Structure 1
Amino acid sequence: MQKGARTTVENAGPTGETGKRALRREVLAARRRLTADDVREAGRALAERALELPELAHARTVAAYVSVGGEPGTPALLDALRARGVRVLLPALLPDNDLDWGEYTGPDSLTRVRHGGRMALLEPSGPRLGPDAVTGADAVLLPGLAVDAHGMRLGRGGGSYDRVLARLERAGARPRLVVLLYDAEVVTRVPAEPHDRPVHAVVTPSGVRRFTGA
């Protein structure tokens, strides 16, 4: 699994958005080489590590997401959080790429939604709570493609979670921000832009790394 997910930021090329695009291509290519067993195995290990986090152990509400494709699997973590009595919020993509939220109450509460030509997403089928629902979360689990030594996260480039982070900042909300990745996706440097914000921690199948700059 680790060999399949291997990537290095040195291959990202220039800084800024050009460098981000290059790094995204590299990481996504590595993820495409993973097997379904790789993804499931990583998801189980990831859940074990994440559940050890004090931020999740004491959380009443966690905003998370349902993994798709080669992303480190989140279903085991979602069910474990719910079994603890945690309220789990999941995103629903809006036409403008912003995120609405709904509550996860088990696998049967998800519905598959295709947005245009994109990959189908599993989204909450229950009532929508509004984009501001995320501001009540004690922790936010973020998808990503890489994170660097300063906690700077590389997303897919759609801007959905940039909006989430900006919304949290405007509301004065201070949830713990945690990104879920494969081990090899913790890199030396992620090309950053002025609007980018660091996360507090990264969880990988082999452990947790915390950052002080968030």
Structure 2
Amino acid sequence: MIQVKNLTKRYKEVEAVKGISFTVDQGTVFGLLGENGAGKTTTLRMIATMIKPTSGTALIDGKDLIKEPDNIRGKIGILFGGDTGLYDRLTARENIEYFGLLNGMNKSDISKRIDMLSKKLEMEEYIDRRVGKFSKGMKQKVSIARSIVHNPQIMLLDEPTTGLDVTSVRIVHEFILDQKKEGKTILFSSHSMSEVEKLCDIVGIINKGKLVEVSTLDELKHKFKGNNLEDIFVELVGEKSEY
């Protein structure tokens, strides 16, 4: 479970995240929906203990973000968009194995876990090839496997399908839903309305650092008289949205 409590991040005069609060229950997919600069990535980085909040806190599986960051890091799997940060000279398997070792796993358990993830993410054809010449979709799947090789109960995914082709997007979506069935707690950010509608139990709409709505999709549509998610988003954040 994730419990975010008045989380705030300020950079000098700019308040990037403004006292947001929400809860992600175990076995739930929570989607953080917002345009560029809305505060999605900053929020995820604070929850991941990568940057320190200006104020507020979060409880990650009962551990306080401020007081026990070291105890939180082993409980979460983190995937951020953009540069995958993979080691080009290593194979996909070696990249994943390295992160398993960093998380204190033994080689036997790592090997079993890699074989399982390779099958689920359809990487078997290239799992033992160097990643330097991989496509973006191939690298992204390796990055996902690397981020959760230690089988964390909580997954933080920042725009996990950005730039992927249709086939890769489908595989990633199926994997997220499979992890939900296993009882994992999943928080992810997205630009895609259809992605949020397909995957999320709860959606939080963030605009200029403020959480303007948190509810189920059914509750949102009932509240806004049956409008689709895109229309609801525009109504909440204004016509200048890039959507």
- Does TM, scored on the shorter chain, surpass 0.5? no
Q: Which structure is higher in RCO with an 8 Å CA cutoff and minimum separation 6?
A: 2
TM-score between both structures, scaled by the size of structure 2: 0.33
**Pair member with larger Rg:** 2
